[in-house]
Structure 1
Amino acid sequence: MSQPAEKDTAAEPLVLRNDRNGIATLTLNRPAQRNCLSEGLMSALSDELARVAADASVRVVVLAANGPAFSSGHDLKELTAHRSDADRGRAYFQKIMRQCSALMQSIVRLPKPVIARVQGIATAAGCQLVASCDLAIATDSAKFATPGVNIGLFCSTPMVALSRNLPRKHAMEMLLTGEMIDAARAAEIGLINRVVYSAELDATVRELAEKIAAKSTLTVSIGKEAFYEQLEKPLSDAYDHASEVMVKNMLARDAEEGIGAFIEKRDPKWEDR
């Protein structure tokens, strides 16, 4: 059963959590606001991700959303309300951008793989959210954009996630034109993994999540951390780092079990250590 992760002062839960067979589904729950990333929603999601990180029963995370939009980005009404502050909103804008950046980094640093389940539009910081997830499956009706340039606010923080997931010229095209791209194009340029019909979305996400959940959580967490660590290093340093990770992994009980099972032609029994 879904349960609230956090609550607004007088609203529906901002994030719903459902756990099943080692898969935690976190669902953004501001459908009327197109799941825009308000301060409250980002806090709720960050808190739930922290709980998931510490929960040994969770092996994979699915990030989903209620309503017709996955996420339309920052809550511009919330931001605009602070233009009347004495500093014209500077302190609040800084707070929100830091909060959003921390949220995106927490997804990358989460020791469990995160799959975005995209059922609608994902724009600006919402597109950033998709790009920050490890994997993404979208319906054929989903659309993506970084449209800040159209309203005089370049998508500079979404740019960080896009530039680390897309080829440079494709990322720049999205950022400079602000145009919406369809799911097929998003898959073509590497923003998402695959496109499915709406009726197939849940089954496809579940199948992918279950495949990953069947692996050793220790091995997966080692691999995810190493993947992002080596990306930021020069080639030689990346190989040095990856080699050390392989040695560490080789000494783990699950590697010993997995290799033994492969040699003996049997299924491994993971201990997650």
Structure 2
Amino acid sequence: MDEMRSDRMVIPWRIFGSSQRAGSTDQPVIGRFTRSMGDSALPKSGLTTLFRRDDHSRLAIHRPKRLMKGGCPAVEEARQARIDTGGQVMDPASLKRNGGVDPIRRDMAEVAHFMIRRLDEYLLKIFRGDGLMTSNRHGIGCWRGPGRNDAADLVAADHVEGFGAEYGRLTANPEPAALHRRTVEHRLAKPRRLLSSDEVRDLRSILKRSTDGTVTVDDLAQSRRLVTQISPSVAPRNALDGDMPRPGAGRHDDRGRGGCRYDRGAIGRSPR
């Protein structure tokens, strides 16, 4: 970045799917999910930007955006090169949420993105709501879109050994070990509670059929209704301690890019 006089580096995603697993276990994601998007999809993956703070931009999703005031740039933006992890200069106009039209090199880095994980964890994600305050975006589209199990991929799993050594060091201390056990027990118990609901079991069945390629038009309509019942309109502060899903407890619209529709008016609201 210094050599290219750049304060912004675009880092592409490698999206990992569910590896067609359903239940949750106490294992690191890098060991549980070992299938990701195929190479043909890599140029169109999402991106994250590593950048230095400045006076003319603000924090935003995926990449910083220009700081605006009254519809105009608040500060004149200095011309800066945006590069990818191979040192290739990127055209800012071509960069989009999903990476854009130009291939992004991944010579030095990429983000291993475990977006959906297992089916039961995805159900918990629906119930919990979205950290971006866009709870209505989860459904079949957001389950199938990132469900990339195209190719065996051990890039992230290669780091399991190093992770295990650090995990062993930390859990040798009784206090963090006990906290970890409590956290895992709580997280594994919540899906079991959710699945005591007929609505959640029905939605789980539909999502599984969508993975198998047997989903119907009626299933799509039913899934929207069920997600509306399950997902909160605002992400709760204590999601794991929240009540069971109630009919009409949330809102959902499964239309839009890749089956996901983002509530632009909700982005940036504080849950507090």
TM-score tier, shorter chain, comes to: under 0.3
- Larger RCO: 1 or 2 (CA < 8 Å, sep 6+): 2
The structure carrying a bigger strand percent of its residues is 1
When normalised by structure 2's length, the TM-score is: 0.25
The structure carrying a bigger helix percent of its residues is 1
Max Rg structure = 2
When normalised by structure 1's length, the TM-score is: 0.24
